[in-house]
Structure 1
Amino acid sequence: MTPAPADTVLGLWRALSERDWDAVSPFLADDCIYLDVPFGPALAARGPVDIIKRIKVGFEPLSSYRNHDGLLVANGDDVIYEHSETWTWPTGEVAELPFVTVHRVRDGQITLWKDYWDSTTLINSAPPTWMDDLMAADTSWVYDATGQM
């Protein structure tokens, strides 16, 4: 039996909260597109392997990551999830980030994932070296999704 789209989305976020990459992968369709809206469609990622690489760029340097549940609204295959995240770096900086995430689910897997958030909040809370670290990160995951949203 295929899970309801809302259950699929919540399962993804539980796995992300644990940073359990093996558990994240099955929630993502092979053609899933991930779009970090503040950075635009030219810096999207596509497919489970590259989406996980993309998410790791932000999550792996953290000493702690926590997702806080919020409002979840489902309309057929479309699920909107309002939530927040706490990012903590080993150097002690903490960012509290409000998010709205839009997912499209087909046959129990996410085919579209768009994160809406304020990048200034993160940049202002991150360690001083964070932007330099991002610029040096692996970008093999980059997929230009311009016109596909």
Structure 2
Amino acid sequence: MWKALSARDWEQVKTFLSDDCIYLDMPVGPAAAARGPEDIVKRLKIGLEPLASYENFTGLLVDNGTDAMYEHSEEWHWPTGESAVLKFVSVHKVVDGKITLWKDYWDMGALANNAPPTWMEDFANADMSWVFDATGLV
């Protein structure tokens, strides 16, 4: 899944997600989660598709067969020249070979301090049809 995400191969990313998978950025919280492969990819595209380049750097992966924690970093480069290295811990629940829950823990300030000045405005104007309120589910 991480190789597909690094390649921004959206169709391949979807194949790793269960039909009812919930994805959320923990800094934002469960009220702005995405649910299901189509909406999760819509959500991921908001941040990653506009980038000139994006790379995921492998880190520590720990799992117990169902739950996985992946400490990694991502390097983002915008077409306007800005760049950021973002440190993540991603937590997955995997059932029958599919991710059913995906939570990303990261420092929103690291992104906001390095992104282009239009970053928040671009996000606010993006397609938000993916928003799913997962409060009480995660």
Same fold (TM over 0.5): yes
Task: Select the residue among 71, 74, 80 that pairs with 2:63.
Answer: 74
Task: Select the residue among 97, 107, 115 that pairs with 2:96.
Answer: 107
What SS class does the counterpart of residue 27 from structure 2 fall into? helix
Q: Give the structure 1 partner of residue 3 of structure 2.
A: 14
Q: Give the structure 2 partner of residue 119 of structure 1.
A: 108
For residue 30 of structure 2, what is the amino acid of its counterpart? P
Higher strand share: 2
Gaps of 5+ in 2: none
Aligned residues: 138
For residue 88 of structure 1, what is the amino acid of its counterpart? H
Gaps of 5+ in 1: 1-11
- The percentage of aligned residue pairs carrying the same residue is 67
RMSD over equivalenced CA pairs, Å: 0.4
What SS class does the counterpart of residue 87 from structure 1 fall into? strand
TM-score, structure 1 as length reference: 0.92
In 2, Cα distance between the equivalents of 1:22 and 1:51?
11
Q: CA deviation at 1:76?
A: 2.2
Higher helix share: 1
In 2, Cα distance between the equivalents of 1:28 and 1:134?
24
In 2, Cα distance between the equivalents of 1:36 and 1:15?
19
- The answer to whether 1:54 aligns with 2:59 is no
TM-score, structure 2 as length reference: 0.99
